[in-house]
Amino acid sequence: MDLQMDPSLATGYKSRAQIARVVTESWAAREAYCPSCQNGPLVAEPKNTKVIDFNCERCDEPYQLKSQGHPFSAKIVDSAYRPMYDAVFSGHAPNFILLHYDQVAWRVIDLLAVNRRLLTVRAVVPRPALRPPARRAGWIGCWIDLQGLPDGALVPLIQNGLERDHALVQDQWGRFNFLSSQKARTRGWLADVLSCVRQVGKAEFSLRDIYAFEDELGRLHPENRNIQPKIRQQLQLLTRYGVVRRVRPGVYQPNG
């Protein structure tokens, strides 16, 4: 990938936000590739589609681009809360491509892809409603909580100005392809239990460690009354797919 962006494309634009949008979107349309299948460049979608900015022509994965001139922190600002919540809940949210660039040199510093298979409503956080005299008083936006995502949800394509090997990117992304065949609700359970594993943060964790999230998981999945058996079932599935390893009864290790 050529990490240099072309600011001359924004000639004639006045506002900083517009200039940044034109330059970063043009760069992504020229250079960004699909972490799922390595196909590139991605195809820009017409502006009237609500949340999808780019699409992979080969595997049809949707991507939404977010660009900023400073590093991405724990939370990223997204659009309206309710539509994003509904999109994530129903399994229709796009992947994200997070582009951090040097605002002076117009060069890409970091490019991170967020795997939508691991995005659950747990990570969609409402922001406080806008207050008067804001024109859109009452409007509620959202954050995507990157720290609330399981390990492996964020895959770097470019790190500190250096491009990573495409095959390695595809490998890391592909670890969770098994989730594609699951229904949105099952996928949500698997991803939520995985994000609990990340939060426990131990090299070896027990069932009891995950049971500690029983109340929170119960709130996220109100249709389920028996949370503990559900947790055990998710860990069995995650073991089968090689995402966690069962060390002995009731004790597991995150894999890789």
- Report the interface residues with Zn ion, using CB under 5 A: 34, 36-37, 39, 56, 58-59, 61
Closest to Zn ion by CB, 59 or 74: 59
Q: Which one, of 54, 58, 33, lies nearest residue 43 by Cα?
A: 54
Closest to Zn ion by CB, 36 or 120: 36
Closest to Zn ion by CB, 56 or 244: 56
State how far the Cα of 87 lies from the Cα of 132, in Å rounded to an integer: 28
- We find the least distance from the C-beta atom of residue 47 to Zn ion, in angstroms, to be 22
Strand segments, DSSP code E, in 105-211 are 107-114, 124-126, 141-145, 154-159, 162-163, 205-206
State how far the Cα of 113 lies from the Cα of 35, in Å rounded to an integer: 7
CA distances from 91 to 97, 116, 194 (A): 18, 8, 17
- We find the least distance from the C-beta atom of residue 57 to Zn ion, in angstroms, to be 8
SS (H, E, C) 221-252: CCCCCCHHHHHHHHHHHHHHCCCEEEEECCEE
- We find the least distance from the C-beta atom of residue 137 to Zn ion, in angstroms, to be 41
- We find the least distance from the C-beta atom of residue 162 to Zn ion, in angstroms, to be 23
Q: Does residue 7 have a cis peptide bond before it, meaning omega lies within 30 degrees of 0?
A: no
- We find the least distance from the C-beta atom of residue 116 to Zn ion, in angstroms, to be 13
In degrees, rounded to 5, the angle at the alpha carbon of residue 150 between the alpha carbons of residues 144 and 154 is 65
In degrees, rounded to 5, the angle at the alpha carbon of residue 28 between the alpha carbons of residues 25 and 32 is 165
Closest to Zn ion by CB, 59 or 247: 59
Report the relative pairing of strands 107-114 and 43-44 from DSSP bridges.
Answer: unpaired
Closest to Zn ion by CB, 27 or 33: 33
Q: Which two tokens stand for residue 151?
A: 């390990």
- We find the least distance from the C-beta atom of residue 67 to Zn ion, in angstroms, to be 21
Closest to Zn ion by CB, 101 or 173: 173
- We find the least distance from the C-beta atom of residue 102 to Zn ion, in angstroms, to be 28
Closest to Zn ion by CB, 58 or 92: 58
